């Protein structure tokens, strides 16, 4: 048994099985509150806590699953290519939207966290909150944050955006598909994009574009602006 848990097959099989079950639940209940990522993460965290299995053991298989994030990011070129004409025509609104979102993310995140008395390590780890995991890790290292804590906050942000994002956008009367996709991707990176893909391939494609653009902008903006906010 112990040996089995140490083998990568344990984490891989467990992750896929739990996610499939969570997806079936989501398909049945059709409410964003049971978002498959949220349900799977909560279930697995509880499972690890209750059984005492270490994250290290789990992630030997888990990292096999998340390895495919790399080719998946490359794959975002495909929906983008399909919608290239529309994206090129709207380059100015798209670029401005991402830049505005990136600035908002830094200012609001850091100021709110500081106002509520977060320690410096937490504030720094929160700063790249809306950036996709691999880029956020790079930024966290550069600004002296705790990379793995930053990654956790990135996932939390993504899950919240996937659960509440579409409702918030509708509440704010953002109806235009390009604007919705861009907002989901800028705010909630890949997890938001997975949710945006449910609204349509154009919304998903633009969200995918926003992941890359926000990453590019944030890599420069966060180290530049952070000294003025701390």
Residues between 62 and 91 with contacts to other proteins, criterion CB under 8 A: 62-63, 65-66, 68-82, 84, 86, 89-90
| Window 10-39: residues binding other proteins (CB under 8 A) | 11, 15-16, 18-19, 36-37
User: Residue 4 or 91: which CB sits closer to other proteins?
Assistant: 91
Looking at residues 141 to 180 of the shown chain, list those that interact with other proteins (rule: CB under 8 A). 142, 148-149, 151-153, 155-162, 164-165, 168-169, 172, 174-180
d(CA 111, CA 230): 9
CA atoms lying within 13 Å on the CB side of residue 163: 13
From 13, 29, 112, 230, residue interacting with other proteins (rule: CB under 8 A): 112
Given candidates 58, 140, 145, 226, which one binds other proteins under the rule CB under 8 A?
58
Q: How many amino acids of this chain bind other proteins (CB under 8 A)? A: 120
Measured from the CB atom, is 133 or 226 closer to other proteins?
A: 133
Question: Shortest distance, CB of residue 64 to other proteins, whole angstroms?
Answer: 8
Is 168 or 225 the residue whose CB approaches other proteins more closely? 168
Indicate the residue among 3 and 163 with the shorter CB distance to other proteins.
Answer: 163
Alpha-helical runs (H) found in 130-200: 133-143, 147-171, 177-197
Helix 133-143 and helix 201-229, axial crossing angle in degrees, nearest 10: 10
> Alpha-carbon distance 105 to 167, whole Å?
19
**Residue whose CB is less far from other proteins, 101 or 226:** 101
Residue 190 sits in the site that holds other proteins (CB under 8 A): yes
Residue 187 binding other proteins, by CB under 8 A? yes
Given candidates 29, 104, 144, 230, which one binds other proteins under the rule CB under 8 A?
A: 104
- Is 217 an interacting residue with respect to other proteins (CB under 8 A)? no
User: What is the C-alpha to C-alpha distance for residues 200 and 156, in angstroms, rounded to an integer?
Assistant: 24
Look-up: residue for tokens 């806590």? 49
Q: How far is the CB of 179 from other proteins (least distance, A)?
A: 4
How many Å apart are CA 202 and CA 158, to the nearest integer?
Answer: 19
Strand, coil or helix: what is 95?
helix
CB atoms within 10 A of CB 83: 21
Q: Is 34 helix (H, G, I), strand (E, B) or coil?
A: helix
Q: Is 44 in the site for other proteins (CB under 8 A)?
A: yes
Distance of alpha carbon 186 from alpha carbon 182, whole angstroms: 6
Residue 140 interacting with other proteins (CB under 8 A): no
């Amino acid at each position: 048994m112990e040996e089995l848990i140490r083998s990568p097959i344990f984490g891989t099989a467990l992750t896929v099985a739990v996610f499939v079950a969570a997806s079936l639940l989501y398909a049945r209940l059709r409410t964003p509150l049971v978002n498959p990522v949220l349900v799977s993460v909560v279930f697995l965290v509880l499972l690890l806590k209750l059984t005492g299995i270490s994250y290290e053991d789990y992630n030997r298989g888990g990292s096999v699953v998340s390895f495919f994030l790399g080719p998946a990011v490359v794959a975002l070129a495909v929906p983008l290519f399909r919608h290239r004409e529309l994206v090129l025509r709207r380059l100015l609104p798209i670029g401005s939207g991402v830049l505005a979102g990136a600035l908002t993310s830094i200012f609001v995140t850091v100021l709110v966290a500081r106002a509520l008395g977060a320690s410096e390590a937490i504030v720094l780890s929160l700063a790249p909150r809306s950036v996709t995991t691999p880029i956020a890790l790079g930024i966290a290292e550069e600004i002296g944050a705790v990379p793995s804590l930053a990654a956790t906050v990135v996932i939390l942000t993504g899950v919240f955006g996937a659960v509440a994002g579409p409702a918030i956008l509708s509440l704010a009367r953002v109806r235009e598909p390009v604007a919705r996709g861009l907002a989901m991707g800028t705010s909630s990176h890949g997890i938001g994009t997975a949710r945006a893909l449910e609204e349509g391939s154009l919304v998903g494609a633009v969200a995918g574009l926003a992941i890359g653009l926000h990453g590019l902008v944030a890599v420069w903006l966060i180290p530049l602006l952070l000294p003025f906010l701390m």
